[in-house]
Amino acid sequence: MSDPETGVSVQARLRARTLTDAMNGVGDADARAATDAAAEGGDLLLEALGTGSDYTPFLQHLGITTLDVEYGREADPAGVYHSRYDTFEHYVRFGDPDFRYGVALAQTSGRLMLRVADAQLLPQQAGSVARRIDGYVRQLHALADARRKHATDLDAMIDAHLFELASDPQRPMLPPPMESAVPYLDFASLDNAVTRLAASARTFDATYAMQLVAGTRLPTPRLREVNALLRGLEQALTDARGLPGRGWYINLIYAPGQLTGYGAKTLPGVREAIEQGQWQLAEEFARRTAAALSQYSDQLDRASAMLRRAD
């Protein structure tokens, strides 16, 4: 797909934007992971979905695989979206006057739909999922370690009366309250689940690639069974009990943060429990998330076995 403004491929322009954003210090841990992928020449990583669009009930409540496709990042929509200025007139004057990106988006979405609809074997790449989730788990460990170090450092500063020494005697301020010690959380089940997921993903991707090379000559009934397993992968990552305080959200990998508006939280049950100092809840959701990842791996393993069968 060519970028309407520059004529280069959309992938090349997005790769360049990802790398230059990183050079300018733009982005969080997920953006840094995307930058690493761009620098290595591999597939560009998809951003985590939060909420704020029509995909929300499908991903967050029904566990249906979701992709949000858009062209953007150059216009200045501040104050326009969902305001009285959000009109067709504004769009044709300032947004996309020649409708070039509107056409590009229609072509991109159309090709995606044709690729999926015409595939005998549904498109699936498990390795990228495993790497992404492994990165999310590493972020959890780093978050817990950071919370532990902050609590230790803060308490030492309070004991040394550093806040009193730093305070203006004319306008004295009390030191912040001491923080309770952050325990070493038991994430063993989650770590083991991610390790197993990586192995299952490697096996699946290799088996899937062999099928494509061979021309996918599987019997129709078995193709249907494999495709059914692949369609249900996202649902394996849900828990009907829902997230803490909001049972409607049942996806254990992606959710909007409780305090971030549209912004996504990855592994939200564990992450937000750590942020709120709810250590037992963090461990509970680590186990729940591990169970979901194990179910995901089970389905990948079953799909791999069916793709390998000789009959």
Residue of higher predicted confidence among 260 and 209: 209
Residue whose C-alpha is closest to residue 10's, from 93, 55, 69 = 69
Determine the pLDDT at residue 309: 76
The residues, any chain, with a CB within 8 Å of residue 157's CB and separated by 6 or more, are 163, 175
Q: How confident is the model at residue 18 (pLDDT cuts 50, 70, 90)?
A: confident
| pLDDT at residue 156 greater than cutoff 60 | yes
Mention the CATH class of domain 126-308: mainly alpha
What's the average model confidence in pLDDT over 289-308? 96
**pLDDT at 102 (0 to 100):** 92
The CA distance from 265 to 257, in Å, is: 5
Residue 69 in tokens? 């496709």
CB 44 within 8 A of CB 30: no
Task: Categorize the per-residue pLDDT at 268 as very low, low, confident or very high, splitting at 50, 70 and 90.
Answer: very high
Confidence of residue 196 (pLDDT cuts 50, 70, 90): very high
Is pLDDT above 70 for 77? no
pLDDT at 185: 96
What is the pLDDT of the chain when averaged over all its residues? 89
- Evaluated on CA atoms 222, 59, 32, 115, the torsion sign reads positive
Q: pTM, whole model, 2 decimals?
A: 0.88
Asked if 252 and 285 count as a contact pair (C-beta separation under 8 A), the reply is yes
